[in-house]
Homo-oligomer: A and B are copies of this chain.
């Protein structure tokens, strides 16, 4: 049998390489790892979220042996319903991740269609030429796995998101033994998480959060409101444990929190006794000192529950003096401004606010530099391909690999869509496949292009001005003064003088114009408005002839 090289194809979003989707290819067969989404950057106007462009897989539908999801965070499962619409391959994943996927698919009416298979960490499955071994890793959500992918051409280790936490909340450390065993078998390539590659030292244990929560619970007089991600099941567990220790009742607030908590309890990943768990309605009838609420909004999202609480627009209750609000999260880059604004607003409403900067109420779920070096030394791969990070993280991960002795030529920093071929004794950059991103806006997938966003940006910068002209077809003269309307351009109080002068100038131009009336008016108006207020609104000129 002819041996093929293993081909590695990172897809996904926004400069983070292979975070949302990775593809492994052996011969003509494919294995997909993760199907996540990204949140838009601040200048991606009107975009709800972003998914990987996986069009190059469409012609390979029949050759995809499976889709493996490493863990249940949005940046790894969030595009699953979009992917399943096009590629209905069987999905393999651990029980909690499966539960989170089911919640999401049910919401999109696609649960029936999906072929879901449960795998436990430690199990091995065979998918075509890929023999995939699931091994447990610690991360900020339980039931996360990394993958040992054995192919005829060698063994690949794919870390997924991981950290080496010695005292994780679920007491299940990363599987060191399995990593060492891979190393004995000989690892052709390691593809590993680079998120914290610029962070020196060792990421603190989740246990640190317990101590911080203890301090909060022992000092708070009134209600405690804790905001986090809806998928951060281990944080839910820590809050539930603190609630029990301090005799408070706990309620989850918001659909996604409630759904995920319910599912995780059912599957045994979240242990909250019945007499600790209450509904948010019941919480309102208890003394404040007996209550802890857990909700979403730790990223400062204005439509989240915490966002609405900070603005006083949440339907069920208001923030009041005596409340202690905990943001148990780290701002995703780009969200800092929104997060800090939310914190300031909560202070303004009288709450005490505890956040990462002033107390360790959150720790990262990703390996720092010493852990990255430990993984490299445990696995001792021939080739290293940093993934899960921006270019600056991948570069730093590459530098760490060189520090532990991996030769420079055995390390490759890729961009999304760049295919790399792994041979026994060398690796080689192959072709590029299309691997940009697809913007999802409203119900439309992929119908917002960069050019649409440039138009939106222009509209956002300086607004829009509309001119309507009624021209007498016979004489070419204006039948009435030009009609000018604007939005987002200038305030009414300022507009009168400017617009009346604009009307005069347009009239003058219109008299002299012939065929190019529309263009001439637009040009004149653009010139005049820029000279007057140094702005360039989007201008529409409409000419009606009768």
Contacts and interface: CB of A to CB of B under 8 A. Distances in A.
Interface in A264-301: none
A441 interface: yes
Contact of A468 (B395, B490, B542): B542
A442 B453 CA distance: 22
Contact of A490 (B444, B464, B491): B444
A337 interface: yes
A344 B390 contact: yes
A532 B336 CA distance: 34
Contact of A463 (B333, B456, B463, B466): B456
B489 A390 contact: no
A355 B198 CA distance: 10
B333 A334 contact: no
Contact of A455 (B15, B451, B466, B487): B487
A224 interface: no
A123 interface: no
A443 interface: yes
B461 A344 contact: no
Nearest to A442: B534
Interface in A337-369: 337, 340-341, 343-344, 347-348, 353, 355, 357-358
Contacts of A441: 534-535
A534 to B, nearest CB: 3
A358 to B, nearest CB: 5
Categorize the interface residue count of chain A. Answer: 35 or more
B540 A466 contact: yes
A211 interface: no
Contact of A535 (B357, B444, B470, B533): B444
Contacts of A113: none
Given A455-B487, A460-B457, A540-B466, A358 B198 contact: yes
Interface in A430-488: 441-444, 447-449, 451-453, 455-464, 466, 468, 470, 483, 485, 487-488
Given A542-B468, A544-B470, A462 B46 contact: yes
A546 interface: yes
Taking the full assembly, how many copies of this chain does it contain?
2
A458 B487 CA distance: 10
Given A344-B15, A535-B441, A544-B544, A447 B494 contact: yes
B449 A491 contact: yes
Contact of A452 (B43, B459, B470, B488): B488
A45 interface: yes
Contacts of A464: 459, 464, 487, 538
A487 B533 CA distance: 23
A392 B340 contact: yes
Contact of A540 (B46, B347, B485, B534): B485
Interface in A91-141: none
Contacts of A459: 456, 459-460, 463-464, 487-488
A329 to B, nearest CB: 15
A391 interface: yes
Q: Is the interface of A mostly helix, strand, loop or mixed?
A: mixed
A487 B347 contact: no
A395 B347 contact: yes
Contacts of A488: 45-46, 452-453, 455-456, 458-459
A410 B344 CA distance: 22
Nearest to A345: B391
A501 interface: no
Given A442-B534, A460-B460, A337 B452 contact: no
A460 B45 CA distance: 6
B443 A391 contact: no
A183 interface: no
A391 B310 CA distance: 14
Contact of A456 (B348, B449, B453, B460): B460
A461 to B, nearest CB: 4
B45 A461 contact: yes
A150 interface: no
B456 A391 contact: no
Nearest to A353: B392
A286 B162 CA distance: 47
A466 B198 CA distance: 49
Nearest 5 CB-CB pairings of A with B:
A442-B534, A546-B546, A460-B460, A455-B488, A456-B488
Interface of A: 15, 41-43, 45-46, 198-199, 333-334, 336-337, 340-341, 343-344, 347-348, 353, 355, 357-358, 390-392, 395-396, 441-444, 447-449, 451-453, 455-464, 466, 468, 470, 483, 485, 487-491, 493-494, 532-535, 538, 540, 542, 544, 546
26 contacts: A42-B42, A42-B43, A45-B460, A45-B461, A333-B336, A333-B337, A344-B390, A355-B392, A441-B534, A441-B535, A442-B533, A444-B490, A447-B493, A447-B494, A449-B491, A451-B491, A452-B488, A455-B488, A456-B488, A457-B460, A459-B459, A459-B460, A459-B488, A464-B487, A466-B540, A470-B544
